[in-house]
Amino acid sequence: MDLNPGSTDDLAAFALDALETSELKAVEARLDGQRPLPEVDAWRQTLGEVATLAAEEPPSSLRDRALSSATARRPFGSALHPPEDLPANEAFIRTVDALDRLLSELSPEDWSAPTIEGWTVKGLIVHLVAVEEYFGRQLGLWPLEIDEALEADHLGMTRAFVAAWSDRPVREVLARWRERTGAITSHLRSLDRAAGREPIRFHFLETSLSTVLITRVFEIWTHDEDIRRATGRPSAPPEAARLRRMSRIAVPSLPFGMAMSGLEGGGRTVRIVLTGAGGGTWDQALDLDTAPGDPEATVVLDVVDYCRLAARRVSPDQLDAVIDGDRELAQRVLVGAGVFSA
């Protein structure tokens, strides 16, 4: 090896005793009795000090001080690099735009591909058109007569519309989708952030506009994935900011999902850790209107997988989840997580 005693890198290796015997002899021969550069003495002195410190037992309080300092800088469960704080209306607009781009790519054969509920891709978009008709009505954008007996049935209230539009050409379906979503997104762009707290009635639920918008983000993104699966396209998960908004409503909805699934919370708490951009950590009580206690189980899984679970597009046994603590409780939680049936 051609070593150069004047090279900082070679002298550093010499100071660290990181040279093979033959290389060490070569450096010493090249030095030929000359004193090495001053850096070598400084490096060796520093190494000696480090070795002395490493041999000492650290003070018993060091761990607690280090953890306190770390949690003061970043509270438990918070993201290291949090995504942008995305308003709910912008999250909805981005999701509509993403689906519209996908629809622009579809071939005539793609529109005929089978998806969910026995619908083709075209039928699925007609279902979404029907939902937008209803959503616009609830926003006060246009009148719409509905069968109130079906208003609580998200799928059922759209079936008559899907049947009525079954023979319409794709271009008419796409035009109606763009007309209705265009009017809704234009309205949403005119709203400030405070408008998200305004009450709205949606499927007989009295909630906030922000909650409805993120619920709709779940629905539209889920059907985007349905279409991608049906047409052999790769999935396209939302960016971190949208995933963060989705996870922030999906995890706190867990008590509702468990109640809807007939599962008892029993006053217990689980820790949900969603990994990946847009994830986070929650100590989540399993009963409605209950403060969390000490977690009895921890469930760790990818944030996109949790959103698919919440939308009932994957089952608990399909997940790569890490469970610590009460496994039976954790499995019940994964069943109850399927709260958004899109």
Q: Domains of the chain: which residue ranges?
A: 8-73, 88-236, 252-336
- Tell me if domain 8-73 and domain 88-236 are identical in fold: no
How far apart are alpha carbons 139 and 201 in whole angstroms?
9
pLDDT band at 136 (very low <50, low <70, confident <90, very high): very high
pTM above 0.85, yes or no: no
Amino acid of residue 29: A
pLDDT at 299: 97
DSSP state of 297: E
Instruction: Tell me the three state secondary structure of residue 112.
Output: coil
Q: Is 146 left (phi over 0), alpha (psi -120 to 50) or beta?
A: beta
The CATH number of 8-73 is: 1.10.10
pLDDT band at 61 (very low <50, low <70, confident <90, very high): confident
How far apart are alpha carbons 265 and 256 in whole angstroms?
10
pLDDT of residue 14 exceeding 90, the answer is no
Q: What is the pLDDT of residues 225-235, one digit of tens each?
A: 999 999 999 99
Q: Which residue from 278, 205, 266, 271 is spatially nearest to 240, judged by alpha carbons?
A: 278
Number of CB atoms found within 10 A of residue 182's CB: 13
Q: What is the pLDDT of residues 160-175, one digit of tens each?
A: 999 999 999 999 999 9
pLDDT at 281: 95
Contact call for residues 310 and 221 (beta carbons, < 8 A): no
pLDDT of residue 260 exceeding 70, the answer is yes
Range with lowest mean pLDDT among 39-48, 105-114, 298-307, 310-319: 39-48
Question: What are residue 280's DSSP bridge partners?
Answer: 274
The CATH number of 252-336 is: 3.30.1050.10
How far apart are alpha carbons 134 and 70 in whole angstroms?
49
Q: What is the pLDDT of residues 20-52, one digit of tens each?
A: 777 667 666 665 555 555 656 665 676 667 667
Amino acid of residue 113: A
Q: What is the pLDDT of residues 109-119, one digit of tens each?
A: 999 999 999 99
> CATH classification of 88-236 is 1.20.120.450, yes or no?
yes
